[in-house]
Structure 1
Amino acid sequence: MFKYCILLVFAFFVTISQAQSANETHVETIQDSVKKNLFVKGLANGYIPTKYFNFDLRYLIKYNQYEGVRTGLGGITNDTFSEKVRINSYTVYGFRDDMFKFSVGSSFKLNEKTNTWMTLSYTDDLQETGSTKFLTDKRIFQFFEPRLLNIDLFHRHITKSIAFEHRISNNLNAETEFSESYIKPTYNYGYVTKNGVLNTFNLSIAKFALQWSPFKSFKVSETATKDNDYPLITLQYSKSFNDVLKSDLSFSKVDFRTIHKIGKKDGNLSEITLVGGIASGNIPLTHLYHAYPNNIRKETIMQRFSVAGTNSFETMFFNEFFSDKFATFQFKHYLKPFYVTARYKPQMVLITRYAIGDTKEPKRHQNVTFGSLKKGYTESGFEINKLIFGFGLSFTYRYGAYHLSEFGDNVAFKFTFNLTL
């Protein structure tokens, strides 16, 4: 009897030990899975996470016509380092222009409930001439940035800024910034003023931006999950002050953008994007508007073969148009993916884009030549995405008031690239 009792006790402890071991293995598996998911999520957002610091993949390697290969390192501290202080920095080097660029900044959380942050930064880098950045736009990461390959018109800026971010409600965010910048175009350019021609200039600019998602809601869980962010409406006002901190020019800008999506991504989805801007005062080419062109000036269609952008005008040549007031309309309709296999589902997208704009005093911009969009610019086409390894094909045709005499000059035939982790 005693022998059977010993065997029973032994069997009980073996069972408990096996269950505990299995539970530990299960816990370890879950922990490994969580770590893996966090790593993949970080990678999809453009980060390689470490314990205290997340390396930013945006600065690893890029290419453009002015810098050639641009490479460097950058990143930002994470919540393990501090939930109330963020430190971010990057350093890059351009091989063609043989110059280092860098930025360093710190952010401080002032209020937890309203997610209020103050940010101080110092940046010495390049910016594309004619581009507009909304303060409310957070980091944008793409594994591959197609437009960047062909951009050749940049200006250098050395900028010191202080900014505040504040959540007014779950649907409304506000940001404001004051910056002082030294601007030097990398190309031969002069802006005519009453006091002479400026080749470089100092600007002191105040900006205020609002971003509104009227139907945005949250699912309550351990972590807040976005349910519906559209329509997404952004309004921004910028004012450059003359004679404030030795600023040379006085002008103002009002910028607007709305993005709306109707339907489901895995079915029929329509996406509408409206962008507009009005500038007045003494405004140089660096701060005018372009319509995000993405076509290079080469003779044949195949010589212009490159990669299509996300929201760029594929048939519009770089530096072809600049405006002090403009508006663009883009419509994309995603058809339901073609089911070939469970993992191979190409998708067709129908596209139409329209732009209109004008410039009051083009003669004030010396050593550059550009056209006006006052007649209205139109292009339409289609994409077939995810044909192989995330790559697809795009075909776009330019027609209407700015149709060119040679048929081939109106056509853009390009790759597309869509990769989802």
Structure 2
Amino acid sequence: MIKRFLIVFVLFITTLNWSQKKYSGQVLDFDSSVPVAFAKITYNTKTLYTNWEGKFVFEYQNDKKPLLLSYKGYYDKTYYLPEQKQNLLIKMVALENRDHFEIYSENEVNKILKKVIENRDKNQPERAIPYFEYKNYELATISASPDSISSKIDTIYTKNLFGKTKVKLDSTNYKFKKFIQKQHIYQTEKVNFIQHNNHGTKETVLAARMAGFQKPLYEYLGLSLVPYSLYDRKLDIFEVPVKNPISRDGRKTFVYKMLDTISLKNRKVYRIYFQPKNLKSSNLRGLLFIDAQTYGVAKAYYRIYGVVNINATYTFNYNEEYKLWFPEKRKFHIIKGENAEDISILGNTIKFDSSVKDRIKTDASDHVYLKIESIPFDISLSKKTEFKNKYIKIDVQEAELSKPESYWKTFEKDSTDVRKLTTYTSLDSIVASEKIEKKILFGRRIINGYVPINQIDLDLRSLVKYNNYEGFRFGVGGVTNDKLSTQYKLAAYIGYGLKDHAFKYGITPSYSIDRKTNSWFSVSYIDDLQEIGQIQFLTQNKRFKIYDPRPFNIPTFFNQKVASLFLESKFLPKTDAYFGLSTSQINPLFSYAYQKGDAILDNYKIASTTFSLQWSPFSDFMQTSLGIIEINKRFPKINFQATQAFNHVFGSDFNFTKLEAKVTYDIPYLSGQITSFVWQGGLGFGQIPITHLYSIAPNNLNHDSVLRRVTFAGKNSFETMYYNEFFSSNYTSLHIKHTLKRLEITPDIKPVLSLVTRMAFGSTKDKENHLYKEFNTLEKGYFESGIELNKIWKGFGLVAFYRYGAYQLPNFDDNVAIKVSYYLDLGF
């Protein structure tokens, strides 16, 4: 009897367990794959909700009834459970007019967020504590979980030119799994010293090592991947600015939901979820743990879903003395998101391969992640700390960087990570064999147009040039480097034009006044050609181009023999400064003369002084043995230049003043799009010859048909404006450009689409004094708009612009400009 009862009982329990299965799942947005948080799920008569990551768990009774899902702004969904699958992935489709559906925060959570913002100054250590300092250990690892990668060797079927099927074995995943079981892909560590006082916050790098490099790269040490504070108006996450959910701007962007109240480190804490009001407006969402008494952040989880998926975790310790939460640990986990492009940091040092390149199935690269851990230690919140040069954000003590292995062992927190040491030893040999370190040092120079050859850096820009006056111009030039001397350098070049049969040359010896501030004193003599009306800021960085497209088209030059002495320095905070004195002999190489009173000047002398300044007020700078390096380039960037010409000084024929300014502002978006603004203007007073007026960068040839005018496009040049058409002594111009995320037509053809509009206004007071040269002015405003389709194939692209407004020409074709663009990617 007992045996029968036990058999029946076991069968009953087995049947009960068989009839009830536990399912887990996640609800995602169909288009963006972003989790749908707190979606309502109804099954039979039971109701449950997804959590903040869109996940849920429930017991299925095997009654074949569906799940009913609903969420504001989405179509209701009926989902029937598959029989052989217990991990569900459910995607909900947004309503077409979802933009009208905004979810609003409840009054209770709104009041809490308002108090968080009001108490920011009391809770942010940088504002609440006058002095503090701590050391910080940071480990960055690029790796993958071996368990997530299949060791299966795939069979790929392809067809040759004759249509015959070809079988190919793909062992990529198998080899990658074997590699990743032994070591990480890449890793680097650093220890920095953070100091804060009333001047701001400064970081001093105490030690650093990068796998495969004898000396850490300054470019990596300057990367800002992990925001240290959660209270700033904007957060720079993975070098992209996003709105902070606990700021006034954030309250306008995000919606908040009170989840519950918990205890965290013996303190009452509110747990609050936030997400964008409009899911299309931002990809940031997360959890905030807010202290119920101080309204400070006690813990935070941030999630970003987009080109890359970023998981950020911040933990804090409560300090009783200052009644605030001080950082305990920051942890970032970054994987590839819904993208079809390669993602790289620092050239190709850290790279996520495209998810669609040369693959049929999901490949190993999809499992690669970048993990960053940042741990403060030796914290002192009362010790008075002092430091100079508050605008230097990072100071690299190069002599102290190299540390023995015993030093790094003190920071090992995960003793189970046996792949860490293997990564250093393995990558050291790989980097040595491939000479990657030398390639990057080589890249630092070539990106500025130089190739290092022993003690001289060869100037690539001087080798071959072409323009309408000289034809092909061949030459050689270079500058001595640190191998010869760190105190002196000598730059020189010589060139010869095949069309004008004339030599051009220049020589500039320089002396280093202060290496730390990149201060150099130079003298120079140049005998060369110059484009008329050129606008050139002497402190603006000149990136290397394998070619310069505009001189291909320029028809008018002047010869100048210039003797000058000048000082260049970064002594002033966040600036590049130039101050120089020069005297020039000008000879226009076209029919022109300037009438000055009774005199007709067809060549002339100009003695002048120039002060030029580039200011980057929001950028961060790093002090190294190489000098001051801009590490976080932020906008706006402001250029100012003043030139004063003196009459009768060294035989000078003119007395005039020129004031010029330029403001550049870029707005990057997490989606990969970017909006750029460039405003530029100039004021000229006195008698100014045409060689020194403003031509506002025209770039169109004066030919009859559109096809005959097809040349290379310039950067921030007016593509429909003809050369020598307009000159101004006073002008203002604005360039607006919006670049969309890269389009994918095929895996090899991925153009970049930009929408551009430009405008300019100008005037000239003494137009009657310019003889033999007819030109117009810009009082009524010049306008052009167009599209750029860049990097279509091998760096080449096409652009098209249309001219309109008061200076529109009668024939339609004359207002159209079609150009070829070219962008060279050197991989650095």
TM-score normalized by the length of structure 1: 0.91
Where do residues 312-323 of structure 1 align in structure 2 (5 Å cutoff)? 312-323=717-728
Q: Does 1:364 align with 2:761?
A: no
Unaligned runs of 5+ residues in structure 2 are: 1-421
Report the counterpart of residue 43 of structure 1 in structure 2. 446
Q: How many angstroms apart in 2 are the aligned matches of 1:178 and 1:204?
A: 8
Where do residues 116-265 of structure 1 align in structure 2 (5 Å cutoff)? 116-218=519-621, 224=629, 226-264=631-669
How much does 1:192 deviate? 0.2
Match of 1:55 among 437, 458, 466: 458
Q: 1:135, 1:176 within 8 Å by CA — same for their partners in 2?
A: no
Q: 2:509, 2:523 within 8 Å by CA — same for their partners in 1?
A: yes
Range with greater deviation from structure 2 (247-256 or 223-232): 223-232
Provide closer, same or farther for how the CA distance between residues 371 and 40 of structure 1 changes in structure 2, counting only shifts above 3 A. Answer: same
How much does 1:114 deviate? 2.9
How much does 1:325 deviate? 0.4
Q: How many angstroms apart in 2 are the aligned matches of 1:23 and 1:405?
A: 69
Counterpart amino acid of residue 602 in structure 2: N
Provide closer, same or farther for how the CA distance between residues 24 and 410 of structure 1 changes in structure 2, counting only shifts above 3 A. Answer: closer
Q: How many angstroms apart in 2 are the aligned matches of 1:50 and 1:109?
A: 22
Range with greater deviation from structure 2 (33-42 or 175-184): 33-42
Paired positions, count? 401
How much does 1:297 deviate? 0.6
Provide closer, same or farther for how the CA distance between residues 24 and 226 of structure 1 changes in structure 2, counting only shifts above 3 A. Answer: closer
Q: 1:357, 1:372 within 8 Å by CA — same for their partners in 2?
A: yes
Q: Does 1:332 align with 2:737?
A: yes
Aligned-pair identity (%): 39
How much does 1:345 deviate? 2.4
Q: 1:233, 1:259 within 8 Å by CA — same for their partners in 2?
A: yes
Report the counterpart of residue 397 of structure 1 in structure 2. 802
Report the counterpart of residue 9 of structure 1 in structure 2. none
How much does 1:90 deviate? 0.4
Q: How many angstroms apart in 1 are the aligned matches of 2:746 and 2:679?
A: 36
Unaligned runs of 5+ residues in structure 1 are: 1-18
Q: 1:219, 1:227 within 8 Å by CA — same for their partners in 2?
A: no
Provide closer, same or farther for how the CA distance between residues 334 and 91 of structure 1 changes in structure 2, counting only shifts above 3 A. Answer: same
Range with greater deviation from structure 2 (340-349 or 291-300): 340-349
Deviations 1:40-87 (A, max 9, x none): 443332111112101111111111111111110001111111112110
Provide closer, same or farther for how the CA distance between residues 253 and 229 of structure 1 changes in structure 2, counting only shifts above 3 A. Answer: same
Q: Give the CA RMSD over aligned residues.
A: 2.1
Q: How many angstroms apart in 2 are the aligned matches of 1:221 and 1:117?
A: 17
Counterpart amino acid of residue 288 in structure 1: L
Counterpart amino acid of residue 99 in structure 1: A
Q: How many angstroms apart in 1 are the aligned matches of 2:575 and 2:439?
A: 33
Q: Does 1:107 align with 2:510?
A: yes
Provide closer, same or farther for how the CA distance between residues 305 and 222 of structure 1 changes in structure 2, counting only shifts above 3 A. Answer: same
Deviations 1:244-297 (A, max 9, x none): 111111111001111111115971101110111111111101100011000001
Report the counterpart of residue 754 of structure 2 in structure 1. 349
Q: How many angstroms apart in 2 are the aligned matches of 1:168 and 1:352?
A: 37
Provide closer, same or farther for how the CA distance between residues 169 and 264 of structure 1 changes in structure 2, counting only shifts above 3 A. Answer: farther
Q: 2:687, 2:766 within 8 Å by CA — same for their partners in 1?
A: no
Match of 1:73 among 468, 473, 476: 476
How much does 1:121 deviate? 0.4
Report the counterpart of residue 292 of structure 1 in structure 2. 697
Provide closer, same or farther for how the CA distance between residues 396 and 85 of structure 1 changes in structure 2, counting only shifts above 3 A. Answer: same
Q: 1:63, 1:69 within 8 Å by CA — same for their partners in 2?
A: yes
Provide closer, same or farther for how the CA distance between residues 380 and 112 of structure 1 changes in structure 2, counting only shifts above 3 A. Answer: same
How much does 1:340 deviate? 4.3
Q: How many angstroms apart in 1 are the aligned matches of 2:680 and 2:427?
A: 54
Counterpart amino acid of residue 47 in structure 1: Y
TM-score normalized by the length of structure 2: 0.47
Where do residues 366-381 of structure 1 align in structure 2 (5 Å cutoff)? 366-381=771-786
Q: How many angstroms apart in 1 are the aligned matches of 2:753 and 2:487?
A: 45
Q: How many angstroms apart in 1 are the aligned matches of 2:725 and 2:788?
A: 24
Q: How many angstroms apart in 2 are the aligned matches of 1:409 and 1:370?
A: 17
Provide closer, same or farther for how the CA distance between residues 266 and 117 of structure 1 changes in structure 2, counting only shifts above 3 A. Answer: farther
Provide closer, same or farther for how the CA distance between residues 402 and 40 of structure 1 changes in structure 2, counting only shifts above 3 A. Answer: same
How much does 1:346 deviate? 1.1
Q: How many angstroms apart in 2 are the aligned matches of 1:28 and 1:314?
A: 45
Range with greater deviation from structure 2 (71-80 or 224-233): 224-233
In our comparison, the structure showing a higher alpha carbon Rg is 2
Q: 2:465, 2:474 within 8 Å by CA — same for their partners in 1?
A: yes
Range with greater deviation from structure 2 (180-189 or 134-143): 134-143
Q: How many angstroms apart in 2 are the aligned matches of 1:416 and 1:200?
A: 37
How much does 1:132 deviate? 2.2
Q: How many angstroms apart in 1 are the aligned matches of 2:698 and 2:717?
A: 6
Q: How many angstroms apart in 1 are the aligned matches of 2:428 and 2:663?
A: 49
